[in-house]
Each structure stands twice: as structure tokens, then as C-alpha cells.
């Protein structure tokens, strides 16, 4: 483990010591955003002057220097499917930009951030309606990786991951339905955390937020270093810190499940197994026979629920999304009930799996890069096979960031892994991940 402090903890210490102040931090963050003015499409709404004013106001808001909140002065971006007073939540759609009124109140998660002392840098790009995994958006432009604009960020929390990679935010709020935090983190070489489904009552955590599919939607974070995970979990989600689990049993899928992985993804998967065993883990394989129908169950329920939220407006969205929404509207209540029975049966198999294991490890995606401008129509189906079983089970998951790879295509990061814990074991997951 590196001797230096992780980025957020290190910045907290600098602010607490008085070596830097929140306004200076925010000015630097906005400079980093200005290095990519529009060409990467990181933000859909950003008011630099307002962000700096809010940073300047922090000392008066929290005057007791010894009693300041845990994220005092830390820049954070928010995915543009959450309300922030005075702004319109576009959900990545020009239709909603035109028809949604400016918010009169903040979303629950925004108020959590502000109470923790964080300063919001802006509202970030997303795949339209958060209904996609690549970060492409025909109306606002595709979201590109700041460090390599030939590559897509992945999505749907595309601007969230870009804001952290470019340094305009120290961490970002995203959402994850079918991989929308995990996949961008993996493709961009960052850490990610997808919260357990049900970590908070839905009526609380989604207040002021736009759902895609409530059976699977959850909140998540993108950031640089897993050592900051317990701090962020505690500050943002009130997840109490726990001791690091020792000598965990980790399950990995048998080789047949990994048949379509790129070679560099398989190499990273093997490397992470070695690293985990060095941390005392015992690794064994498990069969994925019960995972074969996951994509069918997941995508059908998702389409049905998404169609209810956007009913009457399907023609306003790009054809591939409109087609899914139109299909979702045709699913009958009887079909939906049968799918939910299959969903519960699958969740029971995962519960059984966790009688053998403390964590599961598998790739976030079988691909390591999404090239901007290429046809990505096949990418969604390939990636969902790796992410939707975890989404269906509602598992808390961290993305273990991949190393920078030098390949024949150039340097890129896209080999992140999913490390998953039993539902509502978020604290144990964050503690173990931080120790890696």
C-alpha cells in the first residue's frame, strides 16, 4: 500500500491545516474543467462563479474550525438526474431540459453533500435518461475521456467519471441500474462504489432524483482511490466504519462465463486474484448456470418500468431508446409478475452463494475500451451479461481500478473488476476494498 495519503483524505488534511482554503481548491477545480471546454462534454450545467462563491462562503457556514464536517471544501459533481435549486434536471434529454422547471428544492443526496461540507462543481453529462452503458448522447454530444478523447467514458454516469478523471471534482455522484457507475469507473481507471439496493428507503434517497427502473436503481460514487472509500461511505451515506474483514472467501465465475473477455481483461482478472490472495483471501470458482437468463429478466423489467416514467414522450428520444420504451409498454402485468418471481428466485440463489463466499469477483465488462465514433450497438448486450446479475441481486459493489495498459491501440485503463458483497454488507465491502 502506498505511504502517501489517499487524495480526498490528503486534501482534507491540507484544508484543515490552513495550507489551502476551499475557494483555492474550487478555483483549481474549475481550471481543470476549463481545460476541456465542451469537447469532452463532462458537464451539462456548470456555473464556475457560483461554485467559487459557495466555496468562499464555507468558513462562515461552518465557523468552528475544529468541528467542520468531513467533506469540508471537497469538490463534488452531481449527475444531471438530480435536482439542485435553480437548475433544470435534464436527465440527458433536450426534451426534459425544455419541459422540466427549475428545481425549487435540492435532491436528498445534494442536501447530504452540502451538509457534509462538499462544494458542488456542476451537473454532469449522462447517457439519455440514464438508459445506456456507453456514454453516447446524440443531443449533447458523446462523453469522452479527458485523458484520451478518442475513447468514450462509458455510461450512464459518463460526465461523473469524466469530472473525476479531469480533476474538476474529487468525487462524483452517479447512479447505477445496470452498471452505470461500475462500467465508467472500469473504463476510465477509477474506483467506483455502487450502494446496496435498499441501503436507504427509496422514498428518502430518490427524493429529487429521476428513476430509470426502480427495481434496480441505486446510488453510487466515483473517485480515485479505494482507500477513500470508507470516508466517503460514512460522509455521504452514513455507513459506519468497521474493521477490515480478514481472510475472506472469494468466489469467481468458472472460465466458461468469461469466454468473450478481451485478453487484457482476463490478464487483469488473474492479476487481481493474485493480489487478493496476497491479502489473505481464499479463491474458489462457482457455476453461473443460474445467470443465463439474467439479461432477459433484467432488460424486460427495466424496459417496463422505464416506459412508465416516460410514457407519452417516447418519440422525443433517440431511436434505440424509444424502441426499448415502446417494447416495455407492451409487457403485460402477468408477464411482469412472472418475471419478478424469476427475479426473486435468482436472488435466492445469490443468497445461497454467499453461504460459501464473503465476496464475489468478476470483470466489470468483457471489453477494455469503447472507441468514440465506432458502432457500439453490440457493446450493451456484452457488458450487461457481466453487470446485470449483480444489479438483479442488489449487491453492493466496488470497482477495483485497472492499471494503465500499453497496447497496440495506445494506453488505456479499461480493466476494472467488480468486487461484490452480500446485500447490505456495504461497510464490510468498503473496509476490505480500502485495505487493497
Active centre residues (catalytic): 79, 156, 180
Cα separation, 378 vs 353, in Å, equals: 30
Task: Report the interhelical angle of 379-393 vs 333-353 (nearest 10°).
Answer: 70
Strand bridging mode 171-176 / 218-223: antiparallel
Which three three-digit cell numbers place residue 293?
437468463
Cα separation, 254 vs 428, in Å, equals: 25
| Residue 33 CA to its chain's centroid (Å) | 20
Which residue, among 284, 220, 264, has the nearest Cα to 429 in the 3D structure? 220
Cα separation, 78 vs 208, in Å, equals: 12
Contact 430, 400 (CB under 8 A): no
- The residues, ordered by sequence, that sit 6+ positions from 12 with a Cβ below 8 Å of its Cβ are 70, 71, 72, 73, 74
The radius of gyration of the chain from alpha carbons, rounded to an integer in Å, stands at 20
DSSP assignment string, 331-392: --HHHHHHHHHHHHHHHHHHHHHTTT-SEEEEES-S-S--BTTS--TTHHHHHHHHHHHHHH
Cα separation, 182 vs 398, in Å, equals: 7
Amino acid at each position: 500500500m502506498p505511504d502517501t495519503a489517499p487524495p480526498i483524505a490528503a486534501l482534507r488534511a491540507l484544508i484543515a491545516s490552513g495550507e489551502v482554503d476551499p475557494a483555492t481548491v474550487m478555483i483549481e477545480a474549475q481550471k481543470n474543467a476549463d481545460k476541456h471546454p465542451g469537447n469532452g462534454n463532462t458537464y451539462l450545467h456548470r456555473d464556475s462563479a457560483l461554485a467559487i462563491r459557495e466555496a468562499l462562503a464555507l468558513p462562515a457556514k461552518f465557523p468552528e474550525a475544529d468541528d467542520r464536517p468531513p467533506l469540508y471544501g471537497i469538490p463534488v459533481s452531481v449527475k444531471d438526474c438530480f435536482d439542485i435549486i435553480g437548475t433544470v434536471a435534464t436527465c440527458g434529454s433536450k426534451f426534459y431540459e425544455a419541459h422540466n422547471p427549475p428545481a425549487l428544492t435540492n435532491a436528498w443526496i445534494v442536501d447530504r453533500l452540502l451538509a457534509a461540507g462538499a462544494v458542488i462543481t456542476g451537473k454532469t453529462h449522462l447517457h439519455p435518461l440514464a438508459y445506456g452503458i456507453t456514454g453516447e448522447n446524440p443531443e449533447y454530444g458523446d462523453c469522452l475521456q479527458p485523458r484520451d478523447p478518442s475513447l468514450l467514458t462509458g455510461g450512464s454516469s459518463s460526465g461523473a467519471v469524466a469530472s473525476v478523471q479531469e480533476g474538476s471534482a474529487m468525487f462524483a455522484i452517479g447512479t447505477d441500474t445496470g452498471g452505470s457507475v461500475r462500467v465508467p469507473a472500469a473504463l476510465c481507471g477509477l474506483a467506483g462504489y455502487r450502494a446496496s439496493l435498499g441501503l436507504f428507503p427509496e422514498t428518502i434517497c430518490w427524493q429529487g432524483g429521476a428513476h430509470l427502473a426502480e427495481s434496480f436503481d441505486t446510488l453510487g460514487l466515483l473517485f480515485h482511490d479505494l482507500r477513500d472509500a470508507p470516508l466517503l461511505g460514512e460522509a455521504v451515506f452514513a455507513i459506519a466504519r468497521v474493521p477490515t474483514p480478514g481472510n475472506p472467501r472469494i468466489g469467481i465465475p468458472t472460465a466458461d462465463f468469461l469466454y468473450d473477455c478481451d485478453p487484457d481483461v482476463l490478464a487483469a482478472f488473474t492479476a487481481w486474484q493474485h493480489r487478493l490472495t496476497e491479502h489473505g483471501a481464499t479463491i474458489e470458482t462457482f457455476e453461473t448456470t443460474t445467470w443465463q437468463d439474467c439479461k432477459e429478466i433484467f432488460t424486460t423489467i427495466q424496459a417496463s418500468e422505464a416506459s412508465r416514467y416516460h410514457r407519452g414522450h417516447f418519440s422525443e428520444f433517440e431511436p434505440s431508446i424509444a424502441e426499448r420504451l415502446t417494447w416495455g409498454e407492451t409487457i403485460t402485468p402477468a408477464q411482469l409478475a412472472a418475471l419478478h418471481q424469476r427475479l426473486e428466485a435468482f436472488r435466492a440463489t445469490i443468497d445461497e452463494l454467499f453461504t460459501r463466499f464473503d465476496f464475489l469477483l468478476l470483470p466489470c465488462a468483457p471489453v477494455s475500451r469503447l472507441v468514440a465514433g465506432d458502432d457500439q450497438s453490440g457493446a450493451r448486450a456484452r457488458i450487461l451479461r457481466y453487470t446485470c446479475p449483480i444489479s438483479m441481486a442488489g449487491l453492493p459493489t466496488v470497482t477495483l481500478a485497472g492499471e494503465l495498459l500499453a497496447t497496440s491501440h495506445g494506453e488505456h485503463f479499461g480493466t476494472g473488476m467488480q468486487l461484490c458483497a452480500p446485500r447490505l454488507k456495504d461497510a464490510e465491502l468498503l473496509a476490505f476494498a480500502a485495505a487493497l
